[in-house]
């Protein structure tokens, strides 16, 4: 396509991002409204390790009816150890990891299995939140575990929640 003329206009499915884990939340919603008004048809979040924070954010999204104007895809994933999770929490802007979650994984005899279980539980909980249309399952050099997560969390049985 480098120098060829387009014969038809592309029909793009435009997306945007939001970080529901960084206050002030009112500003996040106002910016989100602008992104959707500008044409965003799907919204992807940062990694979600804090379900109560996401639930609060999605309540604000529903109050404004934004979930009816765009598809919300929540970032989830697993990290192999408490050390990796702590590094992400301390070095990736906007990633919030509750201390209790970090302690749960740190105390586990098999941290990789514990992190995998947390991811499965998170996806199952997200399937029950109105306005969440899907998940983006992420993991660096962890593809084997990601495939297991997708299978074990029951995503394929959900008709409302999709996996990317």
- pLDDT tens by residue, 43-102: 999 999 999 999 999 999 999 999 999 999 999 988 888 999 999 889 988 888 999 999
pTM: 0.87
What domains lie within the chain, and their CATH numbers? 24-163 (3.20.20.220)
The candidate with the shortest Cα–Cα distance to 62, out of 130, 135, 15, is: 130
Residue with the bigger pLDDT between 151 and 102: it is 102
**Mean pLDDT in the chain?**
89
Q: What is the CA radius of gyration of the chain?
A: 17
Q: Which has the closest alpha carbon to 114: 83, 92, 156, 72? A: 83
């Amino acid at each position: 396509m480098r120098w060829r003329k387009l014969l038809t206009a592309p029909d793009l499915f435009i997306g945007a991002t939001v970080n529901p884990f960084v206050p002030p939340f009112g500003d996040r919603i106002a910016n989100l409204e602008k992104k959707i008004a500008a044409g965003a048809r799907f919204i992807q979040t940062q990694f979600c390790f804090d379900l109560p924070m996401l639930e609060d954010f999605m309540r604000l999204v529903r109050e404004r009816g934004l979930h009816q104007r765009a598809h919300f895809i929540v970032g989830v994933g697993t990290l192999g150890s408490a050390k990796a999770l702590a590094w992400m929490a301390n070095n990736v802007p906007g990633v919030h990891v509750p201390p209790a979650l970090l302690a749960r994984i740190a105390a586990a005899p098999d941290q990789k299995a514990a992190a995998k279980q947390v991811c499965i539980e998170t996806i199952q909980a997200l399937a029950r939140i109105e306005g969440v249309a899907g998940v983006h399952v992420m993991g660096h050099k962890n593809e084997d575990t990601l495939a297991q997560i997708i299978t074990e969390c029951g995503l394929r049985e959900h008709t409302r929640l999709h996996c990317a």
